[in-house]
Structure 1
């Protein structure tokens, strides 16, 4: 296959002004690299030099076809002009990769031209390898000659290094916990890519306790490592901002607003300048504040309360919400334009009950955390650990508070453990405590939940049916399918039967109240 080289005429180097070294001429004198055709790009202002260099090259390598290609540049340092004309040159060239192997000589031409060559070859608009030459270190010695292939897949060690770095970033987002849930791991890998490449807002959704705040902090740290932000992360709990001081807390306040010394405030947005602004529980933010916040996010400017002059600041936005923002928007409780701004990158963190495979490593993580906080090494007895893990992974255990419940549970066990050992009796007591807490938290909402689904018909139900139906509705709403809900609801009795059809049992139960699976899910 014939070697073809394309490059700019060196208006200084090819004249021999540096150690009398001429890079284009030396290119044709490399052992083992025969050039069938050399194409020199030149500006009409240097036509005389171009023809002189071409004649010298033909004398140096008679077997090489030397072609002159005119490429006029008004400003060889104008990136837009150089890239545009090289792009047009490439489109009209007619590369024949079956018969010819193409190379681009980087040494001649401006630095702007070198950058443009790199971009065009890396994107395969110019299907070529890059050649870099250099003068000899000693008089009479051989000059530098390197061929650079941009196909990184050939460099296995380099590719493995990139892959390892990507895994380290993903592990950082997981908090060092060896999670095993494929869906969650896939979610984290996506967040790692987005956080590393994009400065658009990130929206984290999920039930309370699913780890939105911790993940936001890890995203910020990842952005610090990738040098996408420089400042700190400012955590704003939007649920505390619904009052007369909300605007001044976020956007700052000038003394002129009240006329009282000491009332001026810089505002949380100013504190986040150059860093990350984490808007936790943004679904609780007042509509008027949402409007001002939207403008600040999109424009990077805002007016502090009492000021006639705009303030500019830039920050990366991460927002967290525990409720369905689309439903809130449809109900008029959340601005659709703010939702559109925040949801370019939206990630929903799964509840703990849907990550049964991750419970064992998370229990170990919480245990290590508790040991550091208490300063006492603590561990489970074998039977106690088996009992706790069996309860934790049981489909009927819903973990209403998710990681808050899990972390609190482990800390209680560690605190109460005599001589640093968690016993089976302690685990049984803790399981009863968790179930009692969850039951108390739910009992007040049973009537409202059933009434929302059944309407007026709920008034005819006995208290027993209301409590039982409310629990069934809750399980259905957090389950991905009818079968999954059935497995959660009938977990104990299923173990005693030889043949099971949990989905059919659940469908018949709902039918007693005139309900279907779709109806329960639609009204959630």
Structure 2
């Protein structure tokens, strides 16, 4: 059984009015609803002010003449000022909440041609928010050559996904926003792409704090700035992007830099200072390494984020700043909270939207598109086109995606690497030889610094494996201690004196060097052999 059609609409006090026979000669929008042969209206909910009840009754009578099968319900709705949005919206909202909609058996059309412009906007919002579960209905008068026609009658579905052209435009706009956040780099890592997709939605829909966690060089600062620029392009912020690395803030300077100060607040405060929070008003404040802030500054920041108000140092008057906070850290703030280094209430406040950026080594499939992007950027900086030859690129990518490539500095390391090769490329061509040299440089860069540490003894470098396996723990620890002293001494005699310093006084013949030599021979070791290993 087809659903019944119910129209909800306002009485048009001008367009729908008329008592004499001449009223049938003019186009009346509400009457036109029932004059379309292809649209059967089962019920009309006609909203009107009490003072216009007479017009509403005439209109109901005329509808019964044209379409006797249409039921007309007169709905009195009085507002003091029909041009006041708050009053009109509240009245229509209360009616919609109380009305018994039956979407399983009825379809609803909201007529937006009649009523004040404010009433039409409110009707639109009722449908858009699904308080009226239906479609918008717009009617229009007939053209001059179509006199006697009921005019136009158009249904509008606010579910924009039904409109292919609009859907394509929204999809394209979203794709452009995602590309913008990724700087146009066609990244392939599924986890990273999914993360960026959610960040894009949050960036354009939310003003709440965002927490970006990730290793140094993973791109937290860059992403924060791109989020700001995306918001600015959509007119969601009017202020600036203000960035500070909290690891550079110490002592009174930390609070002064962030919250400002009054003249004379502390030694050296020669003039008033606004502070970065006020500089970020109506913009975005990016606090990188927020975990480095002191507990006092954390408490002040919490108040500023929650209340948009705070006290500058040395001032007894609050100031205000409405900013969005993006925080960055390379630490696990949960650990800092557990150990008392970071306030739990501040962490809860900035943790509404928290994202962990993967390291470059965790995104090996994204290395190639990033290399291409960085090479294009480097070429623009040095003023000439730069390209890999096929062998060189294959060799570089093989190494870059291998377990040997630590990328401890993440994108900073990759950017520096590409810049070096682009700068050294003769004729704009990066050769295999240049790649080999760059790989050696990176391996040296990532190699742990080896220092002469006398406290560390590797018996495996001194004894054969079978001999080492036969040693008791007592002998192993004693031998390590002896070799450690030998490393710290210039001669065998000096080492002997240090090792046998207490027993020398009890012996008539003192030959510490010989005693040490005999001890080493028990393990088939000599002073020279130990010296070679130590060297």
TM-score surpassing 0.5?
yes
Cα offsets for 1:174-195 (capped at 9, x unmatched): 0110000000000000000000
Please give the alpha-carbon distance, in whole angstroms, between the structure 2 residues aligned to 1:302 and 1:392.
48
Please give the alpha-carbon distance, in whole angstroms, between the structure 2 residues aligned to 1:199 and 1:130.
31
Within the candidate set 382, 388, 412, 1:380 is matched to: 388
Q: Which moved more, 1:315-324 or 1:58-67?
A: 58-67
Aligned 1:44-55 pairs, distance under 5 A: 44-55=50-61
Structure 1 residues 440, 34: closer, same or farther in 2, change over 3 A? same
Please give the alpha-carbon distance, in whole angstroms, between the structure 1 residues aligned to 2:208 and 2:451.
41
Q: Could you tell me which residue of structure 2 aligns to residue 3 of structure 1?
A: 5
Please give the alpha-carbon distance, in whole angstroms, between the structure 2 residues aligned to 1:269 and 1:290.
13
Structure 1 residues 444, 112: closer, same or farther in 2, change over 3 A? farther
Q: Could you tell me which residue of structure 2 aligns to residue 158 of structure 1?
A: 166
Structure 1 residues 460, 385: closer, same or farther in 2, change over 3 A? farther
Structure 1 residues 244, 39: closer, same or farther in 2, change over 3 A? closer
Q: CA deviation at 1:44?
A: 3.2
Aligned 1:326-337 pairs, distance under 5 A: 326-337=334-345
Q: CA deviation at 1:27?
A: 2.5
Q: Could you tell me which residue of structure 1 aligns to residue 244 of structure 2?
A: 236
Within the candidate set 10, 17, 40, 2:46 is matched to: 40
Please give the alpha-carbon distance, in whole angstroms, between the structure 1 residues aligned to 2:140 and 2:70.
21
Preserved CA contact (<8 Å) 2:262 2:269:
no
Within the candidate set 317, 323, 326, 2:331 is matched to: 323
Q: Could you tell me which residue of structure 1 aligns to residue 377 of structure 2?
A: 369
1:419 equivalenced with 2:427 (yes/no): yes
Within the candidate set 119, 122, 126, 2:125 is matched to: 119
Please give the alpha-carbon distance, in whole angstroms, between the structure 2 residues aligned to 1:157 and 1:119.
23
Q: Which moved more, 1:414-423 or 1:215-224?
A: 414-423
2:47 match: secondary structure: strand
Q: Could you tell me which residue of structure 2 aligns to residue 14 of structure 1?
A: 16
Q: Could you tell me which residue of structure 1 aligns to residue 235 of structure 2?
A: 227
Q: Could you tell me which residue of structure 1 aligns to residue 135 of structure 2?
A: 129
Structure 1 residues 460, 209: closer, same or farther in 2, change over 3 A? farther
Preserved CA contact (<8 Å) 1:42 1:68:
yes
Q: CA deviation at 1:15?
A: 2.1
Unaligned runs of 5+ in 1: 449-458, 464-524
Q: Which moved more, 1:371-380 or 1:183-192?
A: 371-380
Q: CA deviation at 1:102?
A: 2.3
1:400 equivalenced with 2:402 (yes/no): no
TM-score when scaled to structure 1?
Answer: 0.79
Q: Could you tell me which residue of structure 2 aligns to residue 102 of structure 1?
A: 108
Structure 1 residues 442, 316: closer, same or farther in 2, change over 3 A? farther
Please give the alpha-carbon distance, in whole angstroms, between the structure 1 residues aligned to 2:56 and 2:300.
62
Q: CA deviation at 1:265?
A: 1.8
Cα offsets for 1:196-244 (capped at 9, x unmatched): 1000011111000101111111000110012111122011111111122
Within the candidate set 179, 192, 195, 2:187 is matched to: 179
Please give the alpha-carbon distance, in whole angstroms, between the structure 1 residues aligned to 2:202 and 2:126.
25
Structure 1 residues 337, 22: closer, same or farther in 2, change over 3 A? same
Q: Could you tell me which residue of structure 2 aligns to residue 409 of structure 1?
A: 417
Preserved CA contact (<8 Å) 2:9 2:111:
yes
Q: CA deviation at 1:78?
A: 5.7
Q: CA deviation at 1:20?
A: 6.0
Unaligned runs of 5+ in 2: 457-475, 481-535
Please give the alpha-carbon distance, in whole angstroms, between the structure 1 residues aligned to 2:423 and 2:387.
11
Within the candidate set 440, 443, 451, 1:435 is matched to: 443
Please give the alpha-carbon distance, in whole angstroms, between the structure 2 residues aligned to 1:433 and 1:343.
40
Please give the alpha-carbon distance, in whole angstroms, between the structure 2 residues aligned to 1:395 and 1:415.
26
Structure 1 residues 205, 93: closer, same or farther in 2, change over 3 A? same
Q: CA deviation at 1:256?
A: 4.6
Q: CA deviation at 1:260?
A: 8.0
Q: Could you tell me which residue of structure 2 aligns to residue 211 of structure 1?
A: 219
Question: Number of paired residues?
Answer: 452
